[in-house]
Amino acid sequence: MAETDPLVIFTPSGKRGRVAAGTPVLTAARQLGVDLDSVCGGRGICSKCQVTPSYGAHAKHGITVREDALTAFNAVEERYDRVRGLKPGRRLGCQAQVMADVVIDVPPESQVHKQVVRKRAEARDIVLDPAIRLHYVEVPEPDMHAPEGDLERLLAALKSEMGLETLGFDLHLLASLQKTLRAGKWGVTAAVHRHGPPQVIALWPGFHDKAHGIAVDIGSTTIAGHLTDLATGEVLASSGIMNPQIRFGEDVMSRVSHAMMNPGGAAELTTAVREGLNALIDALVEEAGIDKDTLLDSAFVMNPVMHHLFLGLDPYELGQAPFALATGAAQSLRAVDLGLDLAPGARAYVLPLIAGHVGADAAAVALSEQPHKSDDLVLVVDVGTNAEILLGDRTGVQACSSPTGPAFEGAQISAGQRAAPGAIERVEIDPVTKEPRFRVIGSDLWSDEPGFAEVIAETGLTGICGSGIIEVMAEMRMAGIVDAKGLIGTAEETGTPRCVADGRTQAYVLWEGDENHPRITVTNNDIRAIQMAKAALYAGARLLMDKRCVDKVDRVVLAGAFGAHISPRHAMVLGMIPDVPLDKVTSAGNAAGTGARIALLNRGARAEIEAVVRAIEKIETAVEPRFQEHFVAATAMPNAADPFPLLRAAVPLPEPSFTGGEAGGGRRRRRRG
Amino acid sequence: MAETDPLVIFTPSGKRGRVAAGTPVLTAARQLGVDLDSVCGGRGICSKCQVTPSYGAHAKHGITVREDALTAFNAVEERYDRVRGLKPGRRLGCQAQVMADVVIDVPPESQVHKQVVRKRAEARDIVLDPAIRLHYVEVPEPDMHAPEGDLERLLAALKSEMGLETLGFDLHLLASLQKTLRAGKWGVTAAVHRHGPPQVIALWPGFHDKAHGIAVDIGSTTIAGHLTDLATGEVLASSGIMNPQIRFGEDVMSRVSHAMMNPGGAAELTTAVREGLNALIDALVEEAGIDKDTLLDSAFVMNPVMHHLFLGLDPYELGQAPFALATGAAQSLRAVDLGLDLAPGARAYVLPLIAGHVGADAAAVALSEQPHKSDDLVLVVDVGTNAEILLGDRTGVQACSSPTGPAFEGAQISAGQRAAPGAIERVEIDPVTKEPRFRVIGSDLWSDEPGFAEVIAETGLTGICGSGIIEVMAEMRMAGIVDAKGLIGTAEETGTPRCVADGRTQAYVLWEGDENHPRITVTNNDIRAIQMAKAALYAGARLLMDKRCVDKVDRVVLAGAFGAHISPRHAMVLGMIPDVPLDKVTSAGNAAGTGARIALLNRGARAEIEAVVRAIEKIETAVEPRFQEHFVAATAMPNAADPFPLLRAAVPLPEPSFTGGEAGGGRRRRRRG
């Protein structure tokens, strides 16, 4: 461009350059590599390319923008403003032409790769770059002298619009292609899927600008989905349903057993989870009020057994060593091939599994929490029936799973229950009087505050949820009611009548009960169940630390619903997690769900997580000799081998040694399993 | 390699080079780029790599081959020889190691890209390079310390075997993958489809070496298929069935009408042709005695209407100008998506259409007859209800179709019938006596030879087939019974009582009839029907000549069944084809079927025909003003405008001008339609 050509400066990117006078702003943006959206290819239809010119003196840029730097409103802009309304100061980038030096701001909603508005502090930004892009194109009418087919002319128009060399076309669209082109008077909107070889997967007559996707976490218990606008990243609906496979078994191993013991059992489980997904999809579509034909993409995360059953694979091999996956690689499939009732051409992306016991959910956690980009050494723990554990930094990531069992979810605990109103979730025990106070889900009142009776009259008081059991155990440990080995002292040993005999061991009475609410105690068996679970979790983390030859980590991230509710201080008193400063323990919330949403909204994230998973060093705890050793040491609270100096400096950890009421101690040794 | 390393010379390629002593012959062949087959990757299982070492002095190569130039038979070769028998002198290339200078012959059956044995003179060789390749691989067993899935280990093994970077895997194979690997004790044979992104489409436990394909020509009347061994190119079975769409209409336009007039009519036609194809497939599988699971590839040719109906597309637009194709590009699809019952992962390749009236069958003719590689200017004519016409040489090819109608197939002819026993196929008329003699299909006897009565007692004598009507008309023209304008003279004008009044015109009595066989005449209406048909054909060819600005071609190729039976001399007397020396008119037989078979057996041919079709200049006769002019001139025999000097030098062409029995002539003008 000549020095006399107008200078265009785009903000916020700062990109600048000279363009020929008369160049539309959209064209100028493309020439200068500025991220300005357009679905209709500059035909003044989609209004995605809105910009705000900035007039007057710009000292920073050294130019003064004249009022006539852009051409005046043309007929297209006037009609658009009249019919749909243009915000003050806005112009359509495809209509306004650059006539003199100008500064042009691209508002966030006009950027193709806009950042998704975050609801809370997340470890990473989501930059919109979904696999699906919509393109409105005008197709030349058929010509006997150049008898290319309608499809070939459509693809040629799309290629020139998108700059693509090759572009595929879904067979299922072919039968309606000719009618669609004619219904749109040769103007159509194509949805192009751009993960793998680019392919047209949906087609509408005329201009169309809606495309949606769902991100789904298929848990053993719950299937949770988020329906998202692919153009804005906005979550339009979130919903969860019970996994219908639950009728074949509560946990994954009982479902593997069902598949192994019953002819057609695996197929039954596949049908069940797919039916559940279709019910969830229908619920999400209804809640969001969208047309299902716009639901064009989906991303799925799950553990390995759910993965195989979802894909229609018999999980038989996952039930026995060497836990051979049929496939662990990421899958990019047609949703219809998975029996999913989305738009006819919709695609499904399944995140990669990490190993036979470490699922795509853990991969999604890695995508969300980015241990592979961490400057300090981070331990990421996703606690469930299996704990999935990642340890890493920029130099590399290790992963394993550890069989914690369901104790953290309140199972195997005498007063345990799922997190629901009426469940005890917070506990404090006075270290002097050994008297407890607690809160139940559904109220902020403590049990020793006025009005608590009214609270529990409403919510009920029914048991202890997972985070509550962690707290009460940790408080008992700090108050000297339970010793490091996990034995509850007698009333004599502890000095509180709340310690009562319970068979051959003691129990701590957390709530005496009344006529409407049961007595709630913490038994020594409860303590032991949690000890086993937390020892497995810690041993897994410790094994990963061994692999890196470190004996401490810099920070800990707790992922998952349980991790969101757990108190870091209490978890550390129990020795669930390695000794780090308490402010270095954070919750990532539903990181697996976030990871699925990232994979849905950003193509590059798919390649990223596939590469990260390939590079992860996978540790199989079942065959690591040191796992057992770490497990045994970790049954103590916090630990019989690791000193936890930071914890001991922060909280009182008395070291009594109880008999539990029996001379020499009545504790039977239990082993993992 | 050092000068002291053994020198290996391969014949017939002549490729030579030094390899380290101890190198297996197969490895040496790969290093030197010699085309030596192997399915099992050198494991001594498949025996595809057999070679014949040549001992003693080789003056031509300047070496003497010692008896111990290769290692002695090893255990693998001995076992193979014992169990399956090795031809004398043969070695397994993967077992025999090069120890000293040697000359090694690769027999044709050991070459990957072997040439298919030709049954008759075809315009081109078929070199085997099918889209499907089989690979036997041994897959590492699963390992807890490296928990890649079974699929990932299989693909890695295949990639290292094939040197491929990316390799896809059909979803339908995933469910049985783990069982297949274990049934084969980690040795499996994969069928890899290599047209487009390479993809595993079938998998067998252990070693497997059978892969087949079908080439199909979907005609409006007949569907013909050839089942072929993809490893040898051998046709194992050929079969044809009536197109079941015939119950909806005899010709393509009546089927388009059915689709337009009846709701669901297009779908009915699609179902009918697919059912017909599946019946044909079953017949071919049974005749060849193969397992359907080995039927992995297919190639299809057809006219545009059949194409759309086969693909499930409504042919509505093909029934009216501008004859817009939904798509004309080549299709590479899964056979199951076309409702075809081949192997579950089988692929289907549909050759490209040339234009709205010029089909994939014409593209297949081009692939077979190669006008785009011709040094001289060749006219290729495929005569059917529509004539599809190609004109070209190395510098370019033009194509059109011309609406000849069904007269050439015996329809619209008073005594016309399909080519079947009892139909008159050859005719001679004595130019002096004007007496005819003829032959019927099913016998070599002429009608004036002794024993003819016995012949027709057996075959019947029922009518005249397409080639017979051409001959009798041309003979009548040469004998001065019909004039250049197509008027049959009266008995007086021609001097033969065989010319008899038939309404307002004359007819020629070819056969008087007897008690068992009807009288057979050629009426002036018959003459006119053929005149219209041949005028359309010639006008199409002439239009293509106009586009090239030439008034003659160098040679003519007649394709199709009709072209195989037609007499070039008689065709030229009628002016069906341009004036060339008679020895420059050849028949290509079933060139469309040959083209389909080439596309089945050679991947490169698919790219070739797609490029050729894109480059072809397409002429739509319906909108070319000169078509009508050429048509009118071509109603004369041979032609009112073009002089046909070569023809006139070769055969007598008297030029009477008849009244046909009416003063001023009774001929009504008929126009094309």
What is B169-196 written as a DSSP string?
E-HHHHHHHHHHHHHTTTEEEEEEE-SS
CATH 3.20.20.70 fits A7-110, yes or no: no
Chain A residues in contact with B607 by the CB 8 A cut-off are none
Superfamily of domain B212-350: Domain of unknown function (DUF4445) (3.30.420.480)
Q: How far apart (Å, rounded) are the C-alpha atoms in residues A52 and A48?
A: 13
Looking at per-residue pLDDT, the higher value among B47 and B550 belongs to B550
Per-window interface: B 387-446 vs A, CB < 8 A: none
For A532-554, b/e burial (b = at least 16 CB within 10 A) is bbbbbbbbbbbbbbbbbeeeebe
Cα–Cα distance list, A557 to A188, A374, A390, A474 (Å): 48, 12, 10, 19
Task: Give me the mean pLDDT over the B113-138 stretch.
Answer: 78
B348 at A interface, C-beta within 8 A: no
Task: Give me the mean pLDDT over the A37-66 stretch.
Answer: 90
Q: Residue A146: what pLDDT?
A: 83
For the cut 80, the answer to whether the pLDDT of residue B673 exceeds it is no
- Whether the ipTM is more than 0.90: the answer is no
3-class secondary structure, B539: helix
Can you name the residues that pair with B379 across neighbouring β-strands?
B391, B556
Question: Where is mean pLDDT largest: B158-172, B223-237, B243-257?
Answer: B223-237
Nearest CB among A147, A177, A618 relative to B147 is that of: A618
Mean residue pLDDT of chain B comes to 92
**Interchain proximity B175–A146, CB inside 8 Å:** no
For the cut 80, the answer to whether the pLDDT of residue A424 exceeds it is yes
3-class secondary structure, A607: helix
Task: Give me the mean pLDDT over the A218-247 stretch.
Answer: 93
CATH 3.30.420 fits A363-404+530-643, yes or no: yes
The encoded tokens of residue B395 equal 């510098």
The encoded tokens of residue A359 equal 């699922």
For the cut 90, the answer to whether the pLDDT of residue A41 exceeds it is no
Nearest CB among B312, B322, B356 relative to A175 is that of: B312
Q: Residue B122: what pLDDT?
A: 52
Q: Range with the lowest mean pLDDT among A107-121, B223-237, B244-258, B496-510?
A: A107-121
Task: Give me the mean pLDDT over the B419-432 stretch.
Answer: 93
Looking at per-residue pLDDT, the higher value among A112 and B522 belongs to B522
Task: Give me the mean pLDDT over the B602-607 stretch.
Answer: 96
Confidence of residue A23 (pLDDT cuts 50, 70, 90): very high
Phi, psi of A449 (to 5 degrees): -100, 150
User: Do B27 and B42 meet the contact criterion of CB atoms below 8 Å apart?
Assistant: yes
Task: Give me the mean pLDDT over the A521-532 stretch.
Answer: 96
- The class level of CATH for A132-205 reads alpha beta
Q: Residue B28: what pLDDT?
A: 94
Q: Residue B306: what pLDDT?
A: 96
**Interchain proximity A150–B326, CB inside 8 Å:** yes
- As a whole-number percent, the residues of chain A with pLDDT over 90 amount to 79
Confidence of residue B151 (pLDDT cuts 50, 70, 90): very high
For the cut 60, the answer to whether the pLDDT of residue B537 exceeds it is yes
Mutation for B interface: A166, A325, A398, most B CBs within 10 A: A325
Kindly tell me the sign of the dihedral angle through the C-alpha atoms of A302, A303, A308, A309.
negative
Q: Residue A1: what pLDDT?
A: 59
B620 at A interface, C-beta within 8 A: yes
Q: What angle do CA B488, B489, B494 make, to 5 degrees?
A: 130
Mean residue pLDDT of chain A comes to 92
Q: Residue B586: what pLDDT?
A: 92
Looking at per-residue pLDDT, the higher value among B120 and B44 belongs to B44
pLDDT per position as a tens digit, A573-629: 999 999 999 999 999 888 999 999 999 999 999 999 999 999 999 999 988 889 999
For the cut 80, the answer to whether the pLDDT of residue A62 exceeds it is yes
Q: Residue A122: what pLDDT?
A: 52
B352 at A interface, C-beta within 8 A: no
Q: Residue B663: what pLDDT?
A: 53
Q: How far apart (Å, rounded) are the C-alpha atoms in residues B144 and A153?
A: 52
B109 at A interface, C-beta within 8 A: no
Task: Give me the mean pLDDT over the A465-483 stretch.
Answer: 95
**Interchain proximity B147–A313, CB inside 8 Å:** no
Confidence of residue A404 (pLDDT cuts 50, 70, 90): confident
Chain B residues in contact with A151 by the CB 8 A cut-off are 326-327, 329
Chain A residues in contact with B174 by the CB 8 A cut-off are 311-313, 326-327
pLDDT per position as a tens digit, A180-212: 999 999 999 999 999 999 999 999 999 999 999
The encoded tokens of residue B243 equal 């197109």
Shortest CA gap B306–chain A (Å): 14
Q: Which of A407, A464, A417 is nearest to A440 (CA)?
A: A464
Spacing of C-alpha A370 from chain mean position = 12
Q: Residue B671: what pLDDT?
A: 44
Nearest CB among B150, B326, B620 relative to A174 is that of: B326
Q: Residue A120: what pLDDT?
A: 52
Q: Residue A161: what pLDDT?
A: 84
**Interchain proximity B325–A177, CB inside 8 Å:** no
Confidence of residue B667 (pLDDT cuts 50, 70, 90): very low
Q: How far apart (Å, rounded) are the C-alpha atoms in residues A85 and A89?
A: 12
A313 at B interface, C-beta within 8 A: yes
For the cut 50, the answer to whether the pLDDT of residue A670 exceeds it is no
- Peptide bond before residue A130 is cis, with ω within 30 degrees of 0: no
A89 at B interface, C-beta within 8 A: no
A152 at B interface, C-beta within 8 A: yes
Q: Residue B147: what pLDDT?
A: 86
pLDDT per position as a tens digit, A326-382: 999 999 999 999 999 999 999 999 999 999 999 999 999 999 999 999 999 999 999
Chain B residues in contact with A174 by the CB 8 A cut-off are 311-313, 326-327
Q: Residue A665: what pLDDT?
A: 43
Strand B555-559 with B585-589, pairing: parallel
* This model's pTM is above 0.90: no
pLDDT per position as a tens digit, A633-653: 999 999 999 999 999 999 999
**Interchain proximity A144–B327, CB inside 8 Å:** no
Q: Residue A121: what pLDDT?
A: 44
For B513-521, which contacts have Cβ atoms below 8 Å and span 24 or more sequence positions?
B516/B456, B516/B457, B517/B456, B517/B460, B517/B461, B517/B462, B518/B415, B518/B461, B518/B462, B520/B415, B520/B424, B520/B461, B520/B463, B520/B464, B521/B414, B521/B415
Q: Residue B330: what pLDDT?
A: 97
Q: Which of A523, A529, A463 is nearest to A488 (CA)?
A: A523
Looking at per-residue pLDDT, the higher value among B213 and A517 belongs to B213
Task: Give me the mean pLDDT over the B339-344 stretch.
Answer: 98
Cα–Cα distance list, A524 to A418, A535, A657, B550 (Å): 20, 16, 15, 104
Q: Which of B552, B581, B583 is nearest to B646 (CA)?
A: B581
- As a whole-number percent, the residues of chain B with pLDDT over 90 amount to 79
Structure-derived torsion over alpha carbons of residues B667, B668, B672, B673, reported in degrees to the nearest 10: -130
Domain boundaries, chain A: 7-110, 132-205, 212-350, 363-404+530-643, 407-525
The structure tokens 């310390």 sit at B145
Nearest CB among A144, A145, A323 relative to B144 is that of: A323
Q: Residue B405: what pLDDT?
A: 83
For the cut 50, the answer to whether the pLDDT of residue B665 exceeds it is no
**Interchain proximity A317–B175, CB inside 8 Å:** no
Q: Residue A267: what pLDDT?
A: 96
Closest residue in B to A170 (Cα) is B333
Task: Give me the mean pLDDT over the A6-27 stretch.
Answer: 94
Q: Do domains A212-350 and A363-404+530-643 have the same CATH topology?
A: yes
B623 at A interface, C-beta within 8 A: yes
Q: Which of A196, A239, A462 is nearest to A348 (CA)?
A: A196
> Which residues have C-beta within 8 Å of that of residue A344, sequence separation ≥ 6?
A172, A202, A293, A336
Q: How far apart (Å, rounded) are the C-alpha atoms in residues B178 and B184?
A: 10
For the cut 80, the answer to whether the pLDDT of residue B124 exceeds it is no
**Interchain proximity B178–A317, CB inside 8 Å:** yes
